[in-house]
Amino acid sequence: MITVIVHINNEDPVMGEVDEIPKPEDQNILVKNPRRKDGKDVQYLEANVTQVIWPFHRITFIELIQDVKEDEIISFVRE
């Protein structure tokens, strides 16, 4: 799953997961586990909602969040 932040017109951004990156011919996006960026519930969705479909005409842009594993983080250490 790919974590995304969906920026909806006149609303706060919503974070969630998608199965694949939307294609140019898609008209909707299915977001699983919708939540605010701070992890709280989205105020205009019911508490038991697990998936939301938004039409693309309501979306300004979508950010793709890459999952970084601790093993992949390279840091520099001075000795």
Sketch out the chain's domains with CATH numbers: 2-72 (2.30.30.100)
User: Edge-to-edge strands of the sheet including 14-18?
Assistant: 51-55, 28-35, 14-18, 2-8, 59-65
Bridge partners, 52 (sequence order)? 31
Break the chain down into helix, strand, coil percent, rounded to 5.
10, 40, 50
Q: What is the pLDDT of residue 72?
A: 57
What count of Cα atoms within 13 Å lies in the side-chain half-sphere of residue 16?
A: 25
- The type of residue at 10 is N
Q: What is the pLDDT of residue 25?
A: 94
Over residues 21-70, the pLDDT tens digits come to 999 999 999 999 999 988 899 999 998 999 999 999 999 999 998 865 54
Q: Is the pTM of this model over 0.75?
A: yes
